[in-house]
């Protein structure tokens, strides 16, 4: 059994799983903001990146890892709430291109400001757990304490978000505020607060993801650290369905494993092309996403 578990195929599956849960968390943050506000946030990578710099930068002042994580999370919540209040609040009900343009511009601004303050050089972050692969029979097994922590974190966050929207009154109010704000107001829902809360929660999930990525020894923290990962996460959200938290994680994991095999057995240059092909084929077959239920429209 040990030779199989340490084989190239199993290693690719586990490495793809590790990458896939990161893509899934990005997709989950997009699903969160879509279900609660009906907007696609193209700065979803840059906002958590900036929050991570604000929190984890305190490591330089000899603050330990977990307090810095807590401060980064608080910064993420604040950035999400302020962004909704200042930039997005006036865009509801406007043409869909308006928030897209605004958030792409905000992405550029955040990355430029981060580069000006902290430079573009990778900043290594300590890992809370060992990143050394486990050993089976003297051979490396493509899992470590840190990758297991990544996987467990993704599953916990996905479960929490799914339960929030499916079984809680707050989740129902978040969805109602996005779909029918006027009716929700008549029913006593504080729509403004719900919309802000959606951005707060989404940026919080994004900050968790950025911290996990930046804590990877080979990645580090840079102003562009989330750009490529956001692209794959966006594809995962589209494939899984913007209405499905479970679909976000499942699609992210599936895409991560497929791309790992493509990079290992075909060519690393084919990874982006493969991701785009997956997106196009998925949208042709299921435009609303694989895990989104089709609804009949009465005419």
Dump pLDDT digits (tens) for 229-240: 999 999 999 999
CA distances from 86 to 142, 187, 213 (A): 44, 26, 28
- Predicted model pTM: 0.90
pLDDT for 190: 85
How far apart (Å, rounded) are the C-alpha atoms in residues 256 and 233? 10
**What are 60-115's pLDDT values in tens digits?**
888 899 999 999 999 999 999 999 999 998 888 788 889 999 999 999 999 999 99
Query: Who contacts 238 (Cβ-Cβ below 8 Å, separation ≥6)?
Result: 279, 282, 283, 289
CA dihedral 293, 232, 115, 73 (to 10 degrees): 50
pLDDT for 1: 54
pLDDT for 299: 37
Residue numbers in the chain where pLDDT is lower than 70: 1-2, 4-5, 217-218, 293-299
């Amino acid at each position: 059994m040990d030779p199989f578990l340490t084989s190239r195929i199993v290693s690719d599956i586990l490495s793809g799983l590790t990458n896939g849960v990161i893509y899934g968390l990005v997709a989950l943050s997009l699903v969160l903001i879509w279900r609660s506000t009906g907007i696609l946030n193209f700065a979803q990578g840059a906002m958590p990146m900036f929050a991570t710099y604000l929190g984890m930068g305190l490591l330089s002042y000899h603050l330990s890892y977990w307090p810095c994580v807590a401060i980064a999370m608080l910064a993420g919540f604040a950035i999400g709430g302020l962004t909704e209040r200042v930039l997005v609040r006036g865009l509801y009900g406007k043409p869909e291109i308006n928030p897209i343009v605004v958030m792409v511009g905000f992405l550029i601004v955040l990355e430029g400001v981060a580069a000006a303050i902290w430079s573009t050089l990778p900043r290594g972050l300590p890992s809370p757990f060992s990143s050394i692969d486990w050993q089976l029979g003297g051979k490396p097994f493509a899992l470590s304490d840190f990758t297991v922590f990544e996987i467990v974190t993704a599953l916990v966050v996905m479960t929490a978000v799914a339960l929030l929207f499916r079984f809680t009154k707050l989740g129902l109010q978040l969805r109602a505020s996005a779909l029918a704000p006027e009716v929700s107001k008549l029913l006593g829902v504080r729509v403004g607060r719900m919309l802000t809360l959606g951005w707060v929660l989404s940026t919080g999930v994004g900050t968790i993801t950025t911290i996990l990525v930046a804590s990877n020894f080979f990645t580090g923290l840079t102003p562009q650290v989330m750009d490529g990962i956001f692209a794959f996460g966006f594809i995962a959200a589209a494939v899984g369905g913007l209405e499905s938290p479970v679909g976000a994680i499942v699609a992210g994991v599936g895409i991560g494993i497929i791309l790992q095999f493509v990079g290992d057995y075909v060519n690393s240059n084919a990874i982006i092309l493969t991701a785009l092909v997956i997106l196009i084929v998925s949208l042709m077959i299921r435009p609303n996403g694989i895990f989104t239920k089709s609804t009949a429209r009465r005419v």
